Amino acid sequence: MFAAEIFMHRFLLSSAVRTFNPEEADWFYTPVYTTCDLTPAGLPLPFKSPRMMRSAIELIATNWPYWNRSEGADHFFVTPHDFGACFHYQEEKAIGRGILPLLQRATLVQTFGQKNHVCLKDGSITIPPFAPPQKMQAHLIPPDTPRSIFVYFRGLFYDTSNDPEGGYYARGARASVWENFKNNPLFDISTDHPPTYYEDMQRSVFCLCPLGWAPWSPRLVEAVVFGCIPVIIADDIVLPFADAIPWEEIGVFVAEEDVPKLDSILTSIPTDVILRKQRLLANPSMKQAMLFPQPAQAGDAFHQILNGLARKLPHGDNVFLKPGERVLNWTAGPPGDLKPW
């Protein structure tokens, strides 16, 4: 789910928007692959990411003039960690670290989005997490299959290894889902991840998309692709590509504090409203905008990112610095982040 950084690089290598003449370029993309520094369990290890990013920026600033003329204001980076360029999976520690100071002028393309949050700076482009298009395509079932499951969710409700006392993970929202609805016949919820997971989503009316360590998860992509109405439980979330996807019309937003009322909220939605949301979700362009297919296709997430970058052009007068002018502080940030990579 963190692979958007790699697939964006692969897309640009063969894209018609690429130029080999840097003087023609509107934007510069720097692939750093911070999410490829993994734990033994195969999860991104964000603690070294700031040093990796600093090292990459030092490299391009030393070898070419383009970073220095704008201090990164015409550069963009894909940072698909839990809390983007704050580079930590726990919110409190991410907030304490803040966005890497060297990225303050660059445009960040990231999965994390939450209003008025330290880890989402102005001008960022929020994107969906990566979900494997070919794998989902292989599990499609006939579109007229009855949706016999009212509410569906598979995933953790507690993270006892990282949150042994409970209440911190998902701000308690997932625990509340389990405690209130584990025995409710309308709710098909479990920690089990069956081989029929994708098929089950296509048989469901509503798919819960609660926050975890961060507000976002691949369930949002899966719900849209499989036509299951996403029930978004993540206060102040900033969703991807709002100009291409009418989130308010296709989804249901439930405040974290209202999770105990989920059953009454969902059962009170009129049938005609449900059908209208399902018709909108059936639109192929809606699904395409959430995916990173290989090769790229018109209207997909790659092109939505390009649209976001294009809307930021032309660069304003404040982008390019005067000769000798400097804005960024290269020695700012937590001491551990300043160590050489």
**253-280: pLDDT as tens digits:** 999 999 999 999 999 999 999 999 999 9
- d(C-alpha 327, C-alpha 308), whole Å: 25
Distance of CA 151 to the CA centre of its chain: 23
Q: Given this model, what pLDDT does residue 296 score?
A: 94
CATH topology of domain 133-290: Rossmann fold (3.40.50)
In contact, 233 and 216? CB cutoff 8 Å:
no
Strand bridging mode 149-154 / 204-210? parallel
User: What's the mean per-residue pLDDT of the chain?
Assistant: 93
Over residues 213-236, the pLDDT tens digits come to 999 999 999 999 999 999 999 999
Over residues 153-169, the pLDDT tens digits come to 999 999 988 887 777 89
- d(C-alpha 289, C-alpha 284), whole Å: 9
How would residue 341 be classed by pLDDT, with cut points 50, 70 and 90?
A: low
In contact, 152 and 207? CB cutoff 8 Å:
yes
Separation in Å, CA 67 to CA 29, 102, 103, 305, 318 = 11, 11, 11, 21, 14
Look at residues 95, 13, 90 and name the one whose alpha carbon lies nearest to residue 334: 95
List b or e across 209-246, with b for residues whose CB sees 16 or more CB atoms inside 10 angstroms.
bbbbbbbbbbbbbbbbbbbbbbbbbbbebbbbbeebbe
Look at residues 139, 79, 159 and name the one whose alpha carbon lies nearest to residue 112: 79
Which one is predicted more confidently, 306 or 332?
A: 306
Residue-by-residue DSSP string for 128-145: PPP--HHHHHHT---TT-
Which one is predicted more confidently, 46 or 156?
A: 156
Which one is predicted more confidently, 340 or 323?
A: 323
In contact, 240 and 215? CB cutoff 8 Å:
no
Arithmetic mean of pLDDT, 179-200: 97
Judged against a pLDDT cut of 90, whether residue 316 lies above it is answered with no
Question: If DSSP codes are grouped into helix, strand and coil, which group holds residue 76?
Answer: strand
DSSP H or E stretch at residue 149? strand 149-154
Percent of the residues in the chain that have a pLDDT greater than 70, as a whole number: 99
Task: Outline which parts of the chain fall under CATH 3.40.50.
Answer: 133-290
- d(C-alpha 208, C-alpha 153), whole Å: 6
In contact, 117 and 98? CB cutoff 8 Å:
no
Residue-by-residue DSSP string for 269-281: S-HHHHHHHHHHH
Burial class for 20, CB neighbours closer than 10 Å (0-12, 13-18, 19+): exposed
Over residues 53-107, the pLDDT tens digits come to 999 999 999 999 999 999 999 999 999 999 999 998 889 999 999 999 999 999 9
Judged against a pLDDT cut of 80, whether residue 42 lies above it is answered with no
- d(C-alpha 42, C-alpha 33), whole Å: 14
Length reported for the chain? 341
